[in-house]
Structure 1
Amino acid sequence: MTVVSEPFSTLAAAGSAAAIRSRVNVPLRFPDGFVSTAEVLTFHGLADGKEHLLLALGAWEQALLDPASAASGPLVRLHSECLTGDVFGSQRCDCGPQLREAVEEISATGGFLLYLRQEGRGIGLYSKLDAYALQDTGLDTYEANLALGHGEDERDYTAAAQMLGAIGATTVRLLTNNPDKAAQLGVLGIRITEQVPTGVHLSPANHRYLTAKRDHTAHTLDLAPAVVPSHDEMLARVDALVPRLRERAEETEQIRRLPDATMEDLRDAGVFRMLSPKAVGGFGMGVETYVEAVRRLGRGCPSTAWTVGHLIEHVWMLARWPRDVQDEVFANGPAPLAAATGAPVGQAVKVPGGYSISGRWTFASGVMHSDWALLAVQHGDVRLQCLVPMSDVELLDVWHTAGLRGTGSNDVRTENLFVPEYRTLDWALLSAADNPGSRIHQEPIIHTPMAALLNLVAPAAALGAAEHAVELFRERILVRKVKNTAEDRQADSPLAQARFSLAYGLVAMARLQWDEAIRVVTASYQHRPVMMTDEERAQFRLALALSGKASADAVRHIMAGSGGSAHRLSHPLQRIQRDVDVLLNHPTLTLDPILEQAGRGLLGLGFTVPSF
């Protein structure tokens, strides 16, 4: 929301000028592991004589002095001291999460956090605790203040205006949901070009408190966040889709994309919102829910699992970009769909305002359902990812394959396409744990290095497909009569019993390796920054590759014992085999190079393929 206030001609309204008395650098660390560094300033001559602090964060000098930034001003947050929330983590308010959020957002853009010694909206710590007791009897936060003989909000921001004036920040972007802060600063001579809302940190304990702020003092709070399903609820939704995916598997293969009915079912189930951050209306779920959902979709249709797995993952990729891009792509909902491809890498030429890119990119999975394309390009020694609308690229219908036909993984082409600079990002920064989005969103998965999730879709789809194949084989041998045999059904044959048990065991092995890979990647959340050691990365990639191989071996073993009729195009087993064979040729499951690099990692020799 933009709120342009007209200041008085000078800061005279703020009283006598304040002066900076000291500066000191202070490293900051929050309980969730987020770190930053602040230059903390103290002042002489503040109107109320209190020991307020100004924390200068990020590239604050550039935000203050750069002419391109001066028109809008640095990002500023006025944060009133809250001992119970800031220090002890009280859930009766949202002050602690707001402080954490503000430091991260201001660090990312450059600006100032003013820590104002105005406990309890200016009534003091003891009175605030007395107000809490009254709130327990049924009064809201404002009524309790009045009952104690105080004003609803006794805070005065004269000292804040003095502090901003002393550092030269007379034009600012104000990070707040409170219209009174903007109004007071405007009267005191601070020009506010934009009022940037803070997040809504809703909990059962503070719902009534935030509702009072919204209804009583017009705080800009949306207290109807998305209802986030639990892990089990999300997987139950996915399981409910599996029978429909099986019914549409042949159609999916024939039209070489996901049917519209399937896309509608997936949206209705909220599948694409799984990894989308809660701040934009997503579910903010973790890697365990995501990969298990892809695996279960693979039990219904591997092409669907592959496509959906990547579309979910690409929402997660978009949440790693800076705020201006996120504001654009999430403007129409919490799950913008994008295809992403970097093979081969295109070329970029620097032009005024951005880049001109050209290239032909292959294997753009999900492109038939996307509004955006994420394209890798090379500019000198730097690899960039460019975000472009699908309407700006040429789609080439080339996906004619033996397996995974329903993914529609076609090529895209551009020739001298202009991409504005803000929609380009260094791949190294985007793929790192400390990416721009990690400074905006608190979900741990946003901090996960890019390569971890990129390697999960193929083995998940393969395992789900193999589990379905075992299910089909069991049903088949319990009723099938094999020619030229004495048994009434195939299951009565000792050889068939042995074949089934071997297939079953191979899938169990695939599942165990799969579980090990997920254990390794989730354990990396304990590191700060979130990252894997070389040994962990080797374990992770090796476990996924062995899981994929065991899945494929199980499917081939099943097909060898299923007779000629299983090779008819109408039979799901032949489709599963073709899909899994294609999956095994994806770089994330190609065994020889993975074995080589994993061996180097496990032996401490270092990787010769940096992207491994």
Structure 2
Amino acid sequence: MLRHQMTIVSETLMPADTAPSAAAVRSRVTVPLRFPDGYTATAEVLTFHGLADGKEHLLLALGAWEQALLDPEKLDPALPDAGPLVRLHSECLTGDVFGSQRCDCGPQLREAVEKISATGGFLLYLRQEGRGIGLYSKLDAYALQDTGLDTYEANVALGHGEDERDYTAAAQMLGALGATTVRLLTNNPDKAAQLTALGIGVTEQVPTEVHLSPANHAYLAAKRDHTAHTLDLAQPAVPSHDEMLARVDALIPRLRERAEETERIRRIPESTMEDLREAGVFRVLSPKAVGGFGMGVETYVEVVRRLGRGCPSTAWTVGHLIEHVWMLARWPRKVQDEVFADGAEPLAAATGAPVGQATKVPGGYSISGRWTFASGVMHSEWVLLAVQHGDVRLQCLVPISDVELLDVWHTAGLRGTGSNDVRAEELFVPAYRTLDWALLGAADNPGSRIHPDPIIHTPMATLLNLVAPAAALGAAEHAVEMFRERVLVRRVKNTLEDRQADSPLAQARFSHAYGLVATARLQWEEAIRVVTASYQRRPMTMTDHERAAYRLSLGLSGTASAEAVRVIMAGSGGSAHRLSNPLQRIQRDVDVLLNHPTLTLDPILEQAGRGLLGLGITVPSF
């Protein structure tokens, strides 16, 4: 009965001079929906007879759609007579199904279902792929866009119109349900204009969110500039310190689930890389002017520490990839225009061990060498290589495709970092992609003249020492957490106790490990305090005494973290050494971390002693 009444109303109220011929509901069926992120909704899916173009368009009725249609004021007194919320969504196989990032269709579809479900209304799924030109032609247009044409120019170059979509069928579908007045969820003014001309009143144009990514920026800009879409492509809001850490905390369970896979494939799984990008992790130190967050040392090291609670290999790799984005932001404008052209998070590996050799040639340098420990190289577009030219040490920026990757990372721990070797023989590097290492590392670097973000003004050596102790601390914290859970339930052979926690020796061992981690944390926090105190000064320099205290605290933190893991392993029985047990992986990872120069204690104690005694630090990179 309700269906019949709706049809009569639509035929009565629609202006006769503009109304398309009437369509009728053909069928309706309830369909539960579930999206990849876990969001669920229930839709009543309607099909139609008599649509003008003869295509199989769908209408999804969502939420309290009947109430929104008949009496919207009861749902929201602020919206009397406004009509249901409606989204005209043109089919996009690549975006809706495969998650293509070249457009914003998939995220818009997901957003529309949630917003309409909350207020009541309709999502019209219109079979107009590629703005009406079809799937194959759309893919042909993608190929033309890769040569430099925008999305509209590509359509025209293929002999199509810029936008061939016609919303007559949409008006018919709405009319069949009596929706003669609607609130339209869109950024596209043409949709509102066409519906209005077809007799559907648009009381409000509700903008969708801007689902911006490096892959679709040009596409969205063309829509904004060419067809007046209401899109604000200003860079996304910078999360607060706590918001950023909450994003990372949400990733920890997934990192733990994938830790074994990470070690097995000797690199970070692509699923984890996507999670990290989605959370904005690689933007933490990236300048705000290029779409980054421009955050400080405190946020950066906390991100690495918390990632270490999930997977030390991931924490190590990601910590360096974040840091290398920051290093790229220290280069002159020409390089920054190149590396940040596709977004705020260009990924680069960096290595200077051992230093390669450079020869001056016309237009630049010819470099040769084999560089080791290139952490992050398996995920990078660029690689930063240290070379020596006479008395000057240079850093060279090279596309990853120009060097040879050597699969040599077969190690006992940190296997998931994929820190393979890089080799180049007489590779030409243009002069603009080379920079004096001393200038790059200084507080007054070329990037500091471009970006006001305080982090870009920080001496480079300050951040280079932070990753290993943060990852070790996070790993030790996770180990204590697992040890606590284990002793509270574990039955130990040849003892009288029902569980390990009932043993005084186990109680003492747990408190010992707990105290070591607390010590590691306090030393780590003291190091960060020293760094941030200097970070707030101009110029951002540390005295020898501060440098000594900072490096000593980091070294002692790493040692305490490793000792805590050793104590835990010694009390966890033989099963802890099974490859399926995360504790053995943590021990191996932390042991490797402790051998990194930033945590090797003997030289740290020597140089810290000199600095604290006022004798002068003799290692410039300390």
Give the TM-score range, shorter chain.
0.5 to 0.7
Cα distance in 1 between the residues matched to 2:578 and 2:447: 48
Aligned counterparts of 1:260 and 1:480: Cα–Cα separation in 2: 36
1:243 matched to which residue of 2? 253
Helix, strand or coil: the match of 1:515?
helix
Q: 2:466 aligns with which of 456, 477, 502?
A: 456
Q: CA deviation at 1:611?
A: 1.2
Q: Aligned equivalents of 1:329 and 1:517: distance in 2?
A: 32
Report 1:474-489 matches (<5 A): 474-489=484-499
Residue of structure 2 in register with 1:133 after alignment: none
- 2:414 alignment partner in structure 1: 404
> Aligned residues, how many?
395
- Is 1:513 aligned with 2:496? no
1:499 alignment partner AA = R
2:367 match: 357
Aligned equivalents of 1:522 and 1:437: distance in 2? 20
**Equivalent in the alignment of 2:438:** 428
Distance 1:296 1:498 in 2: 27
Match of 1:93 in 2: none
Counterpart residue number, 2:3? none
Determine the structure 2 residue equivalent to 1:537. 547
**What do residues 450-476 of structure 1 show as CA deviations (whole Å, max 9, x unaligned)?**
111100000000000000000000000
Task: Say whether residues 1:446 and 2:489 are aligned partners.
Answer: no
1:23-79 Cα shifts (integer Å, max 9, x gaps): xxxxxxxxxxxxxxxxxxxxxxxxxxxxxxxxxxxxxxxxxxxxxxxxxxxxxxxxx
Partner of 1:224: 234
What's the secondary structure of 1:576's corresponding residue?
A: helix
Matches within 5 A, 1:551-570: 551-570=561-580
Q: Distance in 2 between matches of 1:333 and 1:312?
A: 14
Once the two structures are TM-superposed, the CA of residue 227 in structure 1 deviates from its matched residue by 1.5
In the alignment, the residues of structure 1 paired with residue 471 and residue 451 of structure 2 have an alpha-carbon distance, to the nearest angstrom, of: 28
Aligned-partner residue type, residue 346 of structure 1: G
Q: Is 2:326 the partner of 1:316? A: yes
- Determine the C-alpha separation between the residues in 2 that align with 1:500 and 1:345: 45
Question: Which residue type is aligned with residue 607 of structure 1?
Answer: I
Q: Which residue of 2 aligns with 1:340?
A: 350
Q: CA deviation at 1:329?
A: 0.1
Deviations along 1:91-149, one digit per CA (max 9) or x if unpaired, are xxxxxxxxxxxxxxxxxxxxxxxxxxxxxxxxxxxxxxxxxxxxxxxxxxxxxxxxxxx
Deviation at 1:225, TM superposition (A): 2.3
Shift of 1:226: 1.6
- Give the superposition deviation at 1:224: 1.9
Structure 2, gaps ≥5 residues long: 1-223
- 1:310 partner letter: H
Partner of 1:501: 511
Paired-residue identity, %: 88
Secondary structure of residue in 2 paired with 1:276: coil
Superposition pairs for residues 132-151 of structure 1, below 5 Å? none
Q: 4+ runs of 1 displaced by more than 3 Å?
A: none
The 5-angstrom pairing of residues 78-477 of structure 1 reads 224-477=234-487
Aligned counterparts of 1:482 and 1:443: Cα–Cα separation in 2: 55
Cα distance, 1:529 vs structure 2: 1.0
Distance 2:269 2:416 in 1: 9
- For each residue in 1:221-266, what CA deviation from the matched residue of structure 2 results, as whole angstroms up to 9, or x when unmatched? 9762221111101000000000000000000000000001000100
Mapping for residues 601-612 of structure 1, pairs under 5 Å:
601-612=611-622
Per the alignment, residue 6 of structure 1 pairs with: none
The one-letter amino acid paired with 1:548 is: G
Task: Give the match for residue 127 of structure 2.
Answer: none
Q: Shift of residue 443 of structure 1?
A: 1.0
For residue 531 of structure 1, report the CA deviation from its aligned partner: 1.0
Could you tell me how far apart the structure 2 residues matched to 1:564 and 1:525 are? 46
Decide which moves more: 234-243 or 223-232.
Answer: 223-232
- Tell me by how many angstroms 1:526 deviates: 3.0
Quote the offset at 1:608 in angstroms: 1.7
Q: Distance in 2 between matches of 1:427 and 1:222?
A: 39
**2:592 aligned residue (577, 582, 599):** 582
**Aligned-partner residue type, residue 251 of structure 2:** L
- SS of structure 1 residue aligned to 2:326: helix
1:287 is aligned with what amino acid? V
| Whole-angstrom CA distance in 1 between matches of 2:336 and 2:546 | 31
The Cα offsets for residues 382-411 of structure 1, whole Å up to 9 and x where unpaired, read as 000000000000000000000000000000
Q: CA deviation at 1:527?
A: 2.4
Q: What one-letter code is carried by the residue in structure 2 that aligns with 1:294?
A: V
- Matched residues in 2 for 1:452 and 1:486: separation? 52
**What is the rounded CA distance, in whole Å, between the counterparts of 1:314 and 1:441 in structure 2?**
16
Describe the SS at the equivalent of 1:275: coil
TM-score w.r.t. the length of structure 1 is: 0.64
Q: Distance in 1 between matches of 2:300 and 2:366?
A: 35
Q: Distance in 1 between matches of 2:484 and 2:536?
A: 41
Q: Which amino acid aligns with 1:575?
A: R
Q: Secondary structure at the match of 2:550?
A: helix
Q: Cα deviations across residues 317-372 of structure 1 (Å, max 9, x unaligned)?
A: 00000010000000001000000000000000000000000000000000000000
> 1:290 is aligned with what amino acid?
Y
| 1:593 matches 2:598 | no
Distance 2:234 2:262 in 1: 37
Q: CA deviation at 1:547?
A: 0.3
Partner of 2:422, secondary structure, is strand
Question: Where do 5+ consecutive residues of structure 1 fail to align?
Answer: 1-213
Instruction: Tell me the distance in 1 between the aligned counterparts of 2:618 and 2:294.
Output: 35
Distance 1:363 1:539 in 2: 27
> SS of 2:386's equivalent?
strand
The secondary structure found in structure 2 opposite 1:248 is: helix
Instruction: State how 1:48-59 maps to structure 2 within 5 Å.
Output: none
Distance between the aligned counterparts of 2:372 and 2:388, measured in 1? 16
CA distance in 2, matches of 1:442, 1:523: 19
